[in-house]
């Protein structure tokens, strides 16, 4: 019984040492402002580090951005790097769903990191 307890304590200690190598997310590449023509593709870059690898979500004007992971028909794709790719910029007289202020948020179990704001503006033709 004492040997079993010692093995359990040692396994907990080793497990906790491995977890000490984990670290919270940090943004290593922030998105930049972009001006793009209606219907053209563009990318808002975002890269984050962390252990475990953080998940990335994008927010536009405070609202979560839906991507192809949420809806396969979406014109927005979350790239493996964490960047947000627009197949085409959608912009109309009454509806301007892509124009706005964007941030990316990187999360893991140790916390989250928020990027600087980046504006996406649609150029007039």
Question: For residue range 37-68, what is the model confidence (pLDDT) as tens digits?
Answer: 999 999 999 999 999 999 999 999 999 999 99
Matching residue, tokens 């080793």: 14
Burial group, residue 48, by CB count within 10 angstroms (0-12, 13-18, 19+): buried
* Cα–Cα dist 7/73, whole Å: 52
Q: CATH no. for residue 103?
A: 2.60.40.10
Instruction: Give the predicted TM-score (pTM) of the model.
Output: 0.81
- Whether 15 is in a domain gets the answer no
Has residue 43 been placed in a domain? yes
Whether residue 84 lies inside any domain: the answer is: yes
pLDDT digits (tens, 9 = 90+) for 68-121: 989 999 999 999 999 999 999 988 777 778 999 999 999 999 999 999 999 999
Residue span of the structural domain in which 39 resides:
22-123
DSSP type of residue 106: E
Rounded to whole angstroms, the Cα distance separating 35 from 3 reads 67
Hey, which residues does 102 pair with through a beta bridge? 60, 118
């Amino acid at each position: 019984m004492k040997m079993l307890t010692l093995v359990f304590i040692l396994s907990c200690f080793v497990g906790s040492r491995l977890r000490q190598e984990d670290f919270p997310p940090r943004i290593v590449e922030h998105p930049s402002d972009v001006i793009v023509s209606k219907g053209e593709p563009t990318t808002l870059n975002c890269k984050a580090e962390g252990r475990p690898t953080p998940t990335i979500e994008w927010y536009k004007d405070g609202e979560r951005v839906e991507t192809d992971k949420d809806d396969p028909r979406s014109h927005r794709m979350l790239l493996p790097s964490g960047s947000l790719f627009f197949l085409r910029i959608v912009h109309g007289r009454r509806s301007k769903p892509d124009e706005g202020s964007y941030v990316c948020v990187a999360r893991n179990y140790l916390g989250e990191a928020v990027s600087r704001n980046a504006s996406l503006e649609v150029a007039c033709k």
